């Protein structure tokens, strides 16, 4: 049986979140600072409102102050709060903190949870994730070069990273480095929690980038003979790749649903403008070309939305849904870029001015086709998985069944 309706509880959550967005989030967007987000004197009281209404940290379990409602609910909430670049910060589920919180929940020791997860989950501190390196392809994390070498009771980390998002102002960084160079490629790396006030941790610079919605910049960082105690290892030795993957699955659901929020916002901007803009006796909205933009955008948004919610539903059933997650990453990022581009096209040069949110959304959107796996990588994952399923299920001479 198929059922596409939200539960009573999900409906209540969506209504409440929408109310907070309209009353508290959209009106405060004007205080946003590029690469820094909202000043904390504005952000903190808004976060308090979200906490009081019980919508804080949708990605985390109740034990650490989150909502613990599963992936479908998390997806539905992400769609609402994703409409504003500051939404995820106000609701305590922004990248990279959300993913870091998830890893810590799954892999941290009790002491690590107490020291890092609790303040992170509470929104008292921010964090960053040091994986991507400028020297090697981000699409292939088995090629990472940064190392940690055991020295007595300590590990000594030497690494050069970039796109360590949010490093400026972070309390700690989760670093992915090679501890076992001779192991097979997927077991060579481990994760370490590094306090950013460690003298061996250096923020080299904030890399200038196309988009400016992420707080704390996209930084180049160095670990210079950075010494951490043995207890700083997160999870088991050699599990870096596995844990990083664990971070990415749920992250792609929140990203994809958040992108739909951005697409919906852009669509609204496009329709509002088209209806208000007079063209003789008519409005821009009477133009078939503009109507085509609207209809095509809606088709893509709906398709991406159902794809994403289905992947979330599968994950709620305990399935990793790898193929589905790759599909939504690939398709959702493209839909996002298409819809924002069409909205700007309707507004004309006005859509490129800072008078509407569109130009900022357009710049930020381009990254979605790169981070957490470029389009090309996800196409490969999807195709390989389908070919594997086909070979396993069907004799080559039989007619192929539609896979579910």
- Residue number with CB closer to another protein (51 or 379): 379
Beta-bridge partners for 43: none
Assess 109 for contact with another protein (CB under 8 A): no
Q: How far is the CB of 17 from another protein (least distance, A)?
A: 30
Strands 127-130 and 172-178: parallel
Assess 56 for contact with another protein (CB under 8 A): no
Q: How far is the CB of 200 from another protein (least distance, A)?
A: 24
String of contacts with another protein for each residue 266-305, x by CB under 8 A: -----------x-x---------x----------------
Radius of gyration (C-alpha) of the chain in whole angstroms? 22
Residue position matching structure tokens 């490969």: 380
Q: How far is the CB of 243 from another protein (least distance, A)?
A: 21
Q: How far is the CB of 274 from another protein (least distance, A)?
A: 12
| Cα dihedral 219→220→224→228 (10° resolution) | 40
Among 183, 207, 275, 387, binds another protein (CB under 8 A): 207
Give the 3-state secondary structure of 42-63: HHHHHHHHHHHCCCCCCCCCHH
Among 71, 116, 155, 371, binds another protein (CB under 8 A): 371
The answer to whether the beta carbons of residues 143 and 174 sit under 8 Å apart is no
String of contacts with another protein for each residue 156-185, x by CB under 8 A: ------xx----------------------
Q: Is the peptide bond before 361 cis (omega within 30 degrees of 0)?
A: no
String of contacts with another protein for each residue 218-247, x by CB under 8 A: x-----------------------------
- Residue number with CB closer to another protein (202 or 206): 206
Among 132, 190, 266, 326, binds another protein (CB under 8 A): 132
Closest CA to 35 of 161, 206, 163, 222: 206
- Please enumerate, as own/partner, the contacts of 141-144 that have beta carbons within 8 Å and a separation of 24 or more: 141/176, 141/189, 141/241, 141/244, 142/185, 142/186, 142/188, 142/241, 144/176, 144/177, 144/178, 144/188, 144/189
Stretch in the footprint of another protein (CB under 8 A) among 15-23, 43-51, 131-139, 147-155: 131-139
Among 130, 138, 166, 249, binds another protein (CB under 8 A): 138
The Cα 328–Cα 253 span in angstroms is 8
Assess 349 for contact with another protein (CB under 8 A): yes
Reported as half-sphere exposure (CB side, CA atoms, 13 A), residue 247 has a value of 27
Stretch in the footprint of another protein (CB under 8 A) among 201-209, 235-243, 246-254, 305-313: 201-209
Q: Render 78-99 in DSSP notation, one character per residue.
A: HHHHTTSTTHHHHTT--TTHHH
Contacts to another protein by CB under 8 A: 132, 134, 136-140, 143, 162-163, 207-212, 218, 277, 279, 289, 344-345, 348-350, 352-354, 359-360, 362-363, 366-367, 369-371, 374-376, 379
């Amino acid at each position: 049986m198929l059922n596409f309706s939200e539960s009573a509880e999900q409906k209540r959550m969506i209504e409440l979140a929408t109310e907070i967005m309209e009353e508290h989030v959209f009106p405060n967007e004007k205080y946003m600072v590029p690469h820094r987000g909202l000043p904390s004197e504005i952000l903190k009281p808004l976060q308090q409102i979200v906490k009081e209404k019980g919508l804080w940290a949708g990605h985390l379990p109740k034990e650490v102050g989150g909502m613990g409602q599963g992936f479908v609910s998390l997806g539905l909430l992400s769609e609402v709060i994703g409409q504003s670049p500051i939404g995820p910060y106000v609701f305590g589920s922004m990248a990279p903190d959300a993913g870091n919180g998830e890893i810590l929940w799954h892999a941290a020791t009790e002491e690590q949870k107490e020291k890092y997860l609790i303040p992170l989950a509470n929104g008292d501190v921010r964090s960053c994730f040091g994986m991507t390196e400028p020297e090697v392809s981000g699409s292939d994390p088995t090629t990472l070069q940064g190392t940690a070498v055991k020295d007595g009771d300590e590990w000594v980390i030497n690494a050069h990273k970039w796109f360590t998002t949010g490093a400026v102002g972070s309390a700690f960084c989760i670093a992915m480095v090679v501890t076992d160079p001779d192991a097979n490629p997927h077991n060579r790396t481990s994760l370490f929690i590094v306090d950013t006030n460690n003298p061996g941790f250096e923020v080299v610079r904030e890399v200038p980038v196309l988009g400016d919605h992420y707080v704390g910049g996209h930084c180049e960082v160095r670990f210079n003979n950075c010494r951490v105690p043995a207890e700083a290892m997160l999870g088991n030795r050699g599990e870096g790749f596995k844990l990083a993957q664990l971070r990415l699955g749920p992250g792609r659901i929140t990203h994809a649903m958040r992108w739909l929020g951005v697409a919906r916002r852009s669509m609204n901007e496009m329709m509002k403008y088209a209806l208000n803009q007079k063209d003789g006796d008519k409005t821009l909205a009477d133009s078939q070309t503009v109507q085509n933009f609207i209809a095509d955008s809606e088709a893509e948004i709906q398709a991406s939305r159902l794809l994403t919610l289905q992947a979330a539903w599968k994950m709620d059933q305990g399935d990793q849904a790898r193929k589905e997650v790759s599909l939504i990453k690939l398709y959702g990022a493209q839909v996002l870029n298409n819809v924002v581009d069409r909205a700007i096209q309707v507004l004309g040069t006005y859509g490129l001015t800072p008078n509407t949110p569109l130009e900022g959304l357009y710049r930020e959107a381009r990254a979605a086709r790169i981070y957490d796996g470029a389009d090309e990588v996800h196409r490969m994952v999807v195709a390989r998985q389908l070919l594997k399923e086909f070979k396993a299920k069907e004799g080559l001479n039989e007619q192929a069944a539609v896979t579910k």
